[in-house]
Amino acid sequence: MKTRTLGKNGLEVSALGLGCMGMSFSYAPFPEKADMVKLIRDAFDLGVTFFDTAEVYGPFVNEELVGEALEPFKGRAKIATKFGFRMKPDGSAGYAGLDSSPTRIRAVAEASLKRLRVEAIDLFYQHRVDPAVPIEDVAGAVGDLVREGKVKHFGLSEAGAGTIRRAHSVHPVAALQSEYSLWHRKPEAEIIPALEELGIGFVPFSPLGKGFLTGKIDDKTTFDKSDFRNVVPRFTPEARKANQALVDLLTKVAGAKKATPAQVALAWLLAQKPWIVPIPGTTKLSRLEENIGATTLTLDAKDLKEIDEAAAMIQIQGDRYPAHLQKLVGR
């Protein structure tokens, strides 16, 4: 697989990464750990070198999974993980608030290093902006960890353009991770121009719309009772029915390209900028192989123009987060 570079300090990764969250968090029921270890190793064998996890996924168990799976590939696989949430005292799923204090950042880094079985974290994101801690203090704390050799690169997740600029002025930001796809294009207004100006990479999560853009979900689909999508406004049956028009567009283009809707959605993202690295998640080898196939699908200027013109006529229904989570993004 071809590689791409995130930021200006040489973080080179595969053009497509693998989001590992769903292997143990948010999208129950979860597969057996041994199966996911194998899937992560299969991904590496297929050319994926960029893997995404976080302390809060589980909590902790996702980092442990990724650490075990990638231990044989030390120095060749790049792992991104995140800090910024305060865990519940009883260790249960979810979080008890935000905490990006320098002391907390250092404690998370030390614990993540052990769970990931590495000497340095390749990319350390602030998971969500903490309004109680100046972003300059956050960037300074991660900068200290970089100078100590415990972290290689600093990242932000779901941050606003102003916050990105302030953080970058203290310590170079290698990448921003935020949602971006054909059904969430808000980053095009302010975020992508800011990233381009500053030389920061973009790592879109949910590049397949939490599975919706694959064409395998419709208004009749039901989810496990603990599946996160049950509380997402964009996944109400009514919204799914209305948003089917976007899937129909992808299906039409896919037919002409002898591809799948998911591959077209990912190829569209890859075509936007050479410093965009999507991280679709999956628990199935067949889907992994399908997603990787997008890296060899070429959409030319005419294809992109037709997709953009058709997509502009579709009004996407439903917010991408419930209200209590929506307030955490874009700060």
Domains located in the chain, CATH noted: 3-326 (3.20.20.100)
Angle at 289 between CA 174 and CA 277, to 5 degrees: 15
- Contact criterion met (CB below 8 Å) for 7 and 174: yes
* pLDDT tens sequence across 153-162: 999 999 999 9
pTM of whole model > 0.95?
Answer: yes
For every residue of 199-256, DSSP letters joined together read T-EEEEESTTGGGGGGT---TT----TT-GGGG-GGGSHHHHHHHHHHHHHHHHHHHH
Q: Is the pLDDT of residue 24 over 90?
A: yes
Q: What is the pLDDT of residue 226?
A: 86
From 314, 9, 316, 21, select the one nearest 143 (Cα to Cα): 9
Give mean pLDDT, residues 221-243. Answer: 94
Structure tokens at 321: 């987060």
The whole-angstrom separation of Cα 45 and Cα 141 is 35
pLDDT digit string (tens) for 171-216? 999 999 999 999 999 999 999 999 999 999 999 999 999 999 999 9
Active-site option among 27, 57, 125, 180: 57
Q: Annotated catalytic, 27?
A: no
Spacing of C-alpha 92 from chain mean position: 23
For residues 224 and 218, is the Cβ–Cβ distance under 8 A? no
Asked whether the predicted pLDDT for residue 94 surpasses 90, the reply is no
- Torsion angle in degrees (nearest 10) through CA of 128, 132, 133, 135: 60
Residue type, 92: S
